[in-house]
């Protein structure tokens, strides 16, 4: 029996009866926990509200953009046909000409084996890649900024990059391999900025090798980023060479070993000559295309657009800095005024060179990378300094593809991932440089608010852009592809005619590009070369392609209206591939569509040829 003076209360604490009146006035433990939770809710509420709003905005953007991410004729079919062949047991390079590393098509082939060779599976692959890229971006952002800034930067990438229109996004467009390489590069540099360990250095090298097995130049850039990270982390002392040595050895073992396996089984010519895996012997048409894409045809205007974009972002940052610290430092406006005035004059003077709104948003990317490198070097050592230097350097190098007049288009979005890391890192440096704690806290909140506004402006902009897209769903693609109404009608009618006029198992070849017809008709391309735009079909390999065609004897040939002025050769059969066109006219008959029934739209320019019996 307990002593009457020692009674256990509800919380398990022993007290004497004489303390009863005092105990009754003290708050209970559950009341304390409830009060603490109530105080914490206002702090958590903005984050919860942001997460809910971002989720709803992403869902709305998915619904509005569904099927409009890529193009029906350009590249989407190419992204399907290569892994489809691999899923049927063919060997890359030997059986299919492919210009890039083997990792991405084999990953997609695995998904095709599991879920079927459809565009739905291809979109699933894009969604999975998007999740991996966003995870890698968040990890990279945490190397240069706090959790809130990292979350905001990661969510910004969803509308700005993942859902970039004009086949520039990650879901279905041009170049899944670049998105995969970007994820591996982000992870590799994020590992390399941390203190040296053999396993970390080897892991970074392996990730660089995986990037190399997606796109050669991305793997080399990733290795350069790892080297910069190690050098900046160790303040450029010779100790960073051990990182490079270990990472380089892992890179050679994984990347070089994989290439050697394909050379062994597919042949050196198929891998290195036809596949251009070492970036040697690129056709002049391809080099011309790269030059046209880069914006170098207008270097003066491109440079001014870089200047305008960078000035706009700098002006916004200065105005936020002045406004956020006004209570503590009213003299800051006077000190910043010459800079603000100079930037404003620059924007007014060069407004005619601003370009589109998206150019204003993106064109300053190379300068953002350079600024991050400068700040990283200035900090002199440590993981944060290394991260700024490395991600900034990678952002600058990867802008080689399109350094000028950057806007929504293919191949643009993955390099901007590194610009986002660099930009958020610069903002974090701006916050850290504020000496007064109260002003620093307020500046952080203002910048986070500005990022949140930018995020939701991005969602609104993308939703409006996709909603204005009047393309219609292409039948037979499960809603994953869209095209203009006349193009959709043309492709559907051609696919139905090919199915009716050919037998299952017979071949179909589409010139110069349009592998989606192979998908819609259920007729495979029987030859090794499967893309015939300039660069892929040249005067140097036309005889080889012609020999494959004569040997395979496809039952049907389609020529779609795909003009290619960006390669310097506009029309198939006129400016290039004349021998192939002559063979088609000699061995195939133009299919006479009955004008009394549904026929091809006259503006389509497409032609169907059937093999003469």
**353 belongs to a structural domain:** yes
Task: Pick left, alpha or beta for residue 594 (phi over 0 → left; psi -120 to 50 → alpha; otherwise beta).
Answer: beta
Under 8 Å between Cβ of 141 and 427 = no
**435 belongs to a structural domain:** yes
Same domain as 234, residue 159: yes
Same domain as 121, residue 202: yes
Under 8 Å between Cβ of 569 and 284 = no
Q: What percentage of the chain reaches a pLDDT higher than 70? A: 91
**Chain-centre distance for alpha carbon 275:** 23
Of 217, 118, 126, nearest to 173 by C-alpha is 126
Residue 229 CB partners (closer than 8 Å, separation 6+): 189, 192, 193, 386, 387, 389, 390
If 0-12 CB within 10 Å is exposed, 13-18 middle and 19+ buried, where does residue 226 land? buried
Of 301, 285, 192, nearest to 247 by C-alpha is 192
Of 217, 148, 218, 194, nearest to 385 by C-alpha is 194
**26 belongs to a structural domain:** no
* pLDDT tens column, 374-425: 999 988 778 999 999 999 999 999 998 889 889 998 899 999 999 999 999 9
Same domain as 505, residue 445: no
Same domain as 391, residue 268: yes
Helical (H) or strand (E) element with 517: helix 516-521
Query: Parallel, antiparallel, or unpaired for β 508-511 and 482-483?
Result: unpaired
- Which phi and psi (to 5°) does residue 425 adopt? -65, -40
Quick one: CA torsion of 161, 164, 169, 175, rounded to 10 degrees? -100
**583 belongs to a structural domain:** yes
* Buried b or exposed e, range 183-217, using 16+ CB within 10 angstroms: bbbbbbbbbbbbeeeeebbbbbbbbbbbbbbbbbb
**96 belongs to a structural domain:** yes
* pLDDT tens column, 493-520: 999 999 999 999 999 999 999 999 999 9
Domain that holds residue 605: 484-611
**302 belongs to a structural domain:** yes
Q: What is the DSSP letter of 295?
A: T
Domain boundary among 439, 467, 495: 467
Q: What is the predicted pLDDT for the residue at 175? A: 85
Same domain as 511, residue 453: no
- Dist. CA 230–CA 243, nearest whole Å: 7
Quick one: CA torsion of 395, 401, 406, 407, rounded to 10 degrees? -110
**14 belongs to a structural domain:** no
- Which phi and psi (to 5°) does residue 534 adopt? -55, 140
Q: What is the Rg, in whole angstroms, of the alpha carbon atoms belonging to the chain?
A: 29
Number of structural domains found in the chain: 2
Same domain as 401, residue 497: no
Query: Which residue pairs, CB below 8 angstroms and at least 24 apart, start in 329-333?
Result: 329/436, 329/439
For range 307-331, the mean pLDDT: 93
**Has residue 163 got a pLDDT over 60?**
yes
Q: What is the predicted pLDDT for the residue at 23? A: 43
- Dist. CA 404–CA 409, nearest whole Å: 13
- Dist. CA 409–CA 292, nearest whole Å: 13
Same domain as 267, residue 131: yes
SS3 track for 418-454:
HHHHHHHHHHHHHHHCCCCHHHHHHHHHHHHHHHHHH
Q: What is the predicted pLDDT for the residue at 401? A: 86
Q: What percentage of the chain reaches a pLDDT higher than 90? A: 78
Of 536, 535, 551, nearest to 583 by C-alpha is 551
Is the peptide bond preceding residue 187 cis, with omega within 30 degrees of 0?
Answer: no
- Dist. CA 209–CA 222, nearest whole Å: 9
- Dist. CA 63–CA 574, nearest whole Å: 42
Under 8 Å between Cβ of 421 and 388 = no
- Which phi and psi (to 5°) does residue 296 adopt? -70, -10
**Has residue 603 got a pLDDT over 60?**
no
- Dist. CA 272–CA 179, nearest whole Å: 23
- Which phi and psi (to 5°) does residue 318 adopt? -65, -40
* pLDDT tens column, 261-271: 999 999 999 99
The residue with greater pLDDT, 23 or 526, is 526
Domain boundary among 467, 498, 533: 467
Domain boundary among 438, 467, 496: 467
Under 8 Å between Cβ of 121 and 87 = no
* Buried b or exposed e, range 380-399, using 16+ CB within 10 angstroms: eebbbbbbbbbbbbbbbbbb
Helical (H) or strand (E) element with 589: strand 588-590
* pLDDT tens column, 320-373: 999 999 988 889 999 999 999 999 999 999 888 888 888 999 999 999 999 999
For range 76-91, the mean pLDDT: 97
Same domain as 428, residue 508: no
**Has residue 25 got a pLDDT over 50?**
no
* pLDDT tens column, 284-299: 999 999 988 888 878 8
Query: Parallel, antiparallel, or unpaired for β 482-483 and 7-8?
Result: unpaired
For range 433-447, the mean pLDDT: 91
Q: Where do we find the tokens 């589409």?
A: 510
Q: What is the predicted pLDDT for the residue at 604? A: 61
Instruction: Give the strand order in the sheet containing 556-559.
Output: 508-511, 556-559, 607-611, 588-590
Same domain as 433, residue 351: yes
Q: What is the predicted pLDDT for the residue at 145? A: 96
**52 belongs to a structural domain:** yes
Same domain as 520, residue 381: no
- Dist. CA 535–CA 71, nearest whole Å: 20
Terminal alpha carbon distance of the chain: 108
Q: What is the predicted pLDDT for the residue at 592? A: 83
Same domain as 492, residue 462: no
Same domain as 413, residue 537: no
Q: What is the DSSP letter of 15?
A: E
């Amino acid at each position: 029996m307990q002593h009457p003076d020692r009674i256990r209360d509800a919380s398990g604490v022993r007290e004497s009866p004489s303390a009863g009146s005092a105990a009754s006035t003290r708050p209970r433990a559950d009341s304390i926990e409830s009060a603490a939770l109530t105080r914490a809710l206002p702090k958590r509420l903005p984050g919860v509200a942001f997460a809910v709003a971002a989720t709803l905005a992403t869902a709305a953007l998915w619904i509005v953009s569904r099927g409009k991410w890529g193009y029906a004729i350009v590249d989407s079919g190419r992204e399907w046909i290569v892994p489809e062949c691999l899923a049927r047991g063919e060997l890359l390079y030997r059986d299919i000409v492919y210009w890039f590393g083997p990792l991405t098509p084999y990953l997609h082939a695995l998904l095709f084996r599991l879920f079927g060779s459809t565009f739905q599976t291809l979109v699933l692959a894009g969604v999975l890649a998007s999740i991996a890229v966003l995870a890698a971006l968040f990890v990279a952002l945490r190397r240069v900024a706090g959790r809130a800034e990292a979350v905001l930067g990661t969510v910004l990438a969803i509308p700005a990059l993942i859902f970039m229109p004009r086949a520039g996004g990650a879901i279905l467009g041009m170049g899944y391999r670049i998105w995969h390489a970007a994820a591996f590069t982000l992870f590799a540099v994020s590992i390399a900025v941390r203190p040296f360990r053999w396993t970390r250095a080897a892991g970074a090298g392996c990730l660089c090798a995986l990037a190399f097995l997606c796109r050669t130049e991305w793997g080399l850039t990733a290795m350069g980023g790892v080297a910069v990270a190690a050098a900046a982390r160790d303040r450029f002392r010779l100790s960073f060479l051990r990182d490079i040595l270990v990472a380089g050895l892992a890179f050679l073992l994984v990347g070089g070993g994989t290439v050697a396996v394909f050379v062994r089984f597919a042949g050196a010519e198929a891998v290195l000559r036809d596949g251009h895996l070492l970036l040697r012997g690129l056709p002049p048409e391809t080099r011309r295309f790269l030059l046209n894409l880069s914006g170098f045809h207008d270097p003066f205007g491109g440079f001014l657009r870089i200047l305008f974009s960078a000035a706009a972002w700098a002006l916004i940052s200065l105005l936020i800095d002045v406004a956020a610290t006004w209570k503590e430092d009213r003299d800051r406006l006077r000190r910043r005024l010459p800079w603000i005035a100079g930037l404003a004059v620059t924007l007014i003077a060069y407004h005619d060179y601003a370009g589109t709104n998206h150019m204003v948003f993106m064109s300053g990317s190379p300068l953002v990378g350079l600024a991050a490198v400068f700040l990283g070097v200035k900090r002199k050592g440590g993981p944060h300094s290394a991260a700024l230097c490395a991600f900034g350097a990678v952002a600058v190098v990867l802008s080689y593809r399109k350094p000028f007049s950057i806007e929504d288009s293919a191949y643009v979005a993955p390099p901007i991932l590194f610009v986002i890391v660099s930009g958020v890192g610069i903002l974090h440096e701006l916050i850290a440089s504020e000496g007064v704690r109260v002003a620093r806290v307020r500046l952080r909140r203002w910048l986070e608010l500005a990022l949140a506004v930018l995020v939701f402006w991005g969602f609104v902009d993308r939703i409006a852009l996709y909603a204005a897209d009047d393309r219609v769903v292409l039948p037979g693609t499960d809603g994953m592809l869209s095209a203009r109404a006349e193009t959709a009608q043309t492709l559907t009618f051609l696919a139905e005619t090919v199915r009716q006029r050919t037998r299952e198992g017979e071949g179909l070849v589409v010139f110069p590009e349009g592998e989606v017809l192979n998908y819609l008709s259920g007729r495979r391309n029987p030859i090794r070369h499967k893309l015939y735009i300039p660069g892929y079909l040249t005067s140097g390999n036309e005889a080889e392609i012609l020999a494959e065609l004569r040997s395979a004897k496809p039952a049907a040939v389609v020529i779609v209206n795909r003009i290619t002025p960006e390669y310097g050769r506009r029309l198939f059969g006129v400016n290039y591939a004349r021998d192939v066109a002559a063979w088609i006219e000699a061995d195939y008959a133009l299919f006479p569509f009955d004008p009394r029934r549904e026929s091809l739209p006259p503006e389509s320019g497409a032609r169907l040829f059937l093999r003469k019996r």
